[in-house]
Chain A
Amino acid sequence: MSFWTDPIAIIENLISGWLAGLGMGEGWITFILAFLGAAVYALVVMLFVVLLIWVERKILGRFQDRLGPNRIGPWGIFQTIADMLKIFTKEYITPNGVDKVPYNLAPMLAVAGVLAVWAVIPLGATIFGANLNVGVLYVVAIGALGELGIILAGWSSRNKYATLGGFRAVALLVSYEVPLVVTLLIPVLFSGSMGMNDIVFAQKSMWYIVLAPVAALIFLITSIAENGRAPFDLTEADSEIVAGFNVEYSGLKFGMYYVADFMHTFTIAFLFATLWLGGWLGPWAEKYPMLGIFYTTFKAWFIYFTILWLRGSLPRFRIDQMINLNWKVLTPLALVMLMLTAVVNHLIPAGMLVVRILALLALNGALLFVTGKLLDRFAGQTKRVVVALEPRPVARPEPVATESGTGV
């Protein structure tokens, strides 16, 4: 094994050899290695966000016909570092009457809920935090921690806007978890394992996006909604409830929400690449695990760019539209898709890959077609709730006398 095929294993051996030389027990060496691995990995992911914020602002700027950050460093690449320094030294105000413990805990939970997901995302054949045998379940469970952070923040701020943002988080973010969890069953079903690395290995014959494109689409939509980002940014809709759950946060506590948001987008992209696009699979990826990092990142960038594109081009949904989309379209579609995929996939013998692909593609096409027809049919039938029947008073400017000399 040379350094270039698997540098991480080499470094691991080096450190464990050195620690054993110091006369440490087996258990302590394992502990220290795991701790170092986790700390370095988490720090790298955290610092990567610094680059991501710049990328996102630059791309979004281009979408909106602006230049984006362009002052500090080449192409403004150090803009985020300047922002970071500023936000680090900025006062954070704790308003009167907040519930101290949840108020301070919430930003940490928001970050932890996203960061901890990285422990199970495989980046190469041998490069992963832990190949947990319940990886998918872990992602679902930890992902809910981020929502808890938002709900806690909304409730504990003792501010009307924040409370409204918290309510919306309950109704929207939590609801979108249902189709998300259902679609996550599809990779588990195909690969017969909940471990993320096993799912990647199982995609060697065919990527799952080919076998279940509808599931991948639902996964993408619900993930963006979970992220609370345009077009689903109702929890912090600035034109409706100022900034929603994070109104009362300032300084680095607000910065933590900012970091969590950007990191979440990138985590979604990596999860999508792992679950549907074959993760680190690619030519020679098994022989040289380091190549896997490039393949995963490359695939993830496509999804990341798609999410930015959606953010740059779609207007915000209304709250009833967003709730209807979840409960009346995505959830039934996901459940029906799961049933039919399970039955059709089971009826085709294991060896016939081409037949399987064609049958599943036809099934997915038919599902999309029927959904489209049904949506067209019931599109005009939603009842409109009339809030105010009588004409409401409208403020009009009083005519101001300007002709006489006394007028202002």
Chain B
Amino acid sequence: MEDWLYIGLFVFISIALPAVAIFLAGLLSPKKPNPIKNTSYECGIETVGPSWVQFKAQYYVYALVFLVFDVETIFLYPWAVAYNQLTLFGVLEAVLFILILLSGLLYAWKKGALEWM
């Protein structure tokens, strides 16, 4: 419990430290905005059209594949903690799980989801 208190305080402080620093810098620094300074930067020319451009579907596919793998890998952590007490059967079960994971990767690979286009 004491550990979690410490972690909570640490996370709070690690957000608060940069926040305080930025706040102090805001007090110290000059503020002279003008319309030209405040336009978005694009190497000296004016931005044409909306800045939130359409993105390639490929980025979305990568994020999707990542999600599958990350969530499934998290399932392996309890197994790894219990590894030393497991029988060979238990280890091979996890191997089977990883093989299913790998076949999923192969499927995505064959489908061309991992191809940069």
A79 proximal to B (CB < 8 A): no
Q: Give chain B residues whose Cβ lies under 8 Å from the Cβ of A46.
A: 17
> Which residues of chain A from 85 to 120 have a CB within 8 Å of any chain B CB?
87-97, 104, 107-109, 111-112, 115-116, 118-120
Interface size on A, residues (CB 8 A): 89
The reply to whether A42 and B13 contact each other, CB–CB distance below 8 Å, is yes
**What is the bound-complex CA distance between A324 and B77, given in angstroms?**
26
A227 proximal to B (CB < 8 A): no
Interface residues on B, range: 35 or more
Q: How far apart are A220's CB and chain B's nearest CB, in angstroms?
A: 19
The reply to whether A42 and B14 contact each other, CB–CB distance below 8 Å, is yes
The reply to whether A130 and B83 contact each other, CB–CB distance below 8 Å, is no
A287 proximal to B (CB < 8 A): no
The reply to whether A88 and B28 contact each other, CB–CB distance below 8 Å, is yes
The reply to whether B92 and A41 contact each other, CB–CB distance below 8 Å, is no
Q: Give chain A residues whose Cβ lies under 8 Å from the Cβ of B80.
A: 185, 188-189
Q: Give chain A residues whose Cβ lies under 8 Å from the Cβ of B84.
A: 192
A342 proximal to B (CB < 8 A): yes
The reply to whether B81 and A161 contact each other, CB–CB distance below 8 Å, is no
Q: Give chain A residues whose Cβ lies under 8 Å from the Cβ of B26.
A: 92
**What is the bound-complex CA distance between A119 and B2, given in angstroms?**
13
> Which residues of chain B from 26 to 78 have a CB within 8 Å of any chain A CB?
26, 28-33, 37-43, 47, 51-53, 55-56, 58-59, 62-63, 65-66, 69-70, 73-74, 76-77
Contact of B40 among A91, A97, A185, A319 (CB under 8 A): A97
Contact of A92 among B25, B65, B76 (CB under 8 A): B25
Cβ-closest chain A residue relative to B61? A171
Q: Give chain A residues whose Cβ lies under 8 Å from the Cβ of B21.
A: 88, 252, 256
A157 proximal to B (CB < 8 A): yes
**What is the bound-complex CA distance between A193 and B43, given in angstroms?**
52
The reply to whether B14 and A115 contact each other, CB–CB distance below 8 Å, is yes
Q: Give chain B residues whose Cβ lies under 8 Å from the Cβ of A160.
A: 42, 47, 51, 53
A 318-361 binary contact with B (CB < 8 Å = 1; else 0) = 01100110011001100110110011001100000000000000
B 1-33 binary contact with A (CB < 8 Å = 1; else 0) = 011111101110111011101101110111111
The reply to whether B13 and A39 contact each other, CB–CB distance below 8 Å, is yes
**What is the bound-complex CA distance between A185 and B83, given in angstroms?**
11
The reply to whether A174 and B62 contact each other, CB–CB distance below 8 Å, is yes
Contact of B29 among A92, A133, A259 (CB under 8 A): A92
Given contacts A112-B14, A116-B14, A251-B29, contact A174 B38 (CB under 8 A): no
The reply to whether A339 and B95 contact each other, CB–CB distance below 8 Å, is yes
Q: Give chain A residues whose Cβ lies under 8 Å from the Cβ of B30.
A: 89, 91
Q: Give chain B residues whose Cβ lies under 8 Å from the Cβ of A130.
A: 2-4, 6-7, 10
**What is the bound-complex CA distance between A347 and B56, given in angstroms?**
47
Q: Give chain B residues whose Cβ lies under 8 Å from the Cβ of A159.
A: 40-42, 47, 51
Q: How far apart are A264's CB and chain B's nearest CB, in angstroms?
A: 13
**What is the bound-complex CA distance between A37 and B32, given in angstroms?**
40
Contact of A170 among B18, B19, B63, B92 (CB under 8 A): B63
The reply to whether B10 and A119 contact each other, CB–CB distance below 8 Å, is yes
The reply to whether A174 and B109 contact each other, CB–CB distance below 8 Å, is no
**What is the bound-complex CA distance between A332 and B22, given in angstroms?**
43
State which of A60-68, A176-184, A203-211, A305-313 sits at the interface with chain B: A176-184
Cβ-closest chain B residue relative to A176? B66
Q: Give chain A residues whose Cβ lies under 8 Å from the Cβ of B13.
A: 35, 38-39, 42
Given contacts A129-B6, A192-B83, A253-B22, contact A171 B14 (CB under 8 A): no
Q: Give chain A residues whose Cβ lies under 8 Å from the Cβ of B3.
A: 130-133
Q: Give chain A residues whose Cβ lies under 8 Å from the Cβ of B42.
A: 159-161
**What is the bound-complex CA distance between A94 and B21, given in angstroms?**
17
Enumerate the 10 nearest inter-chain pairs by beta-carbon distance, A residue then B residue, closest first.
A320-B116, A115-B14, A252-B25, A130-B3, A119-B10, A188-B80, A189-B80, A111-B18, A192-B84, A38-B10
What are 20 A-B contacts with C-beta separation under 8 Å?
Answer: A34-B2, A42-B10, A42-B13, A88-B24, A93-B37, A96-B39, A108-B18, A119-B10, A131-B3, A133-B3, A170-B63, A181-B73, A182-B76, A185-B77, A192-B84, A247-B41, A320-B116, A323-B114, A342-B83, A347-B88
20 more A-B residue pairs beyond the given contacts A256-B18, A256-B22, with a C-beta to C-beta distance below 8 A: A35-B9, A37-B6, A88-B29, A95-B39, A97-B40, A119-B10, A120-B7, A129-B7, A159-B51, A175-B65, A178-B66, A178-B70, A181-B73, A182-B76, A324-B114, A327-B105, A338-B98, A339-B99, A342-B95, A385-B117
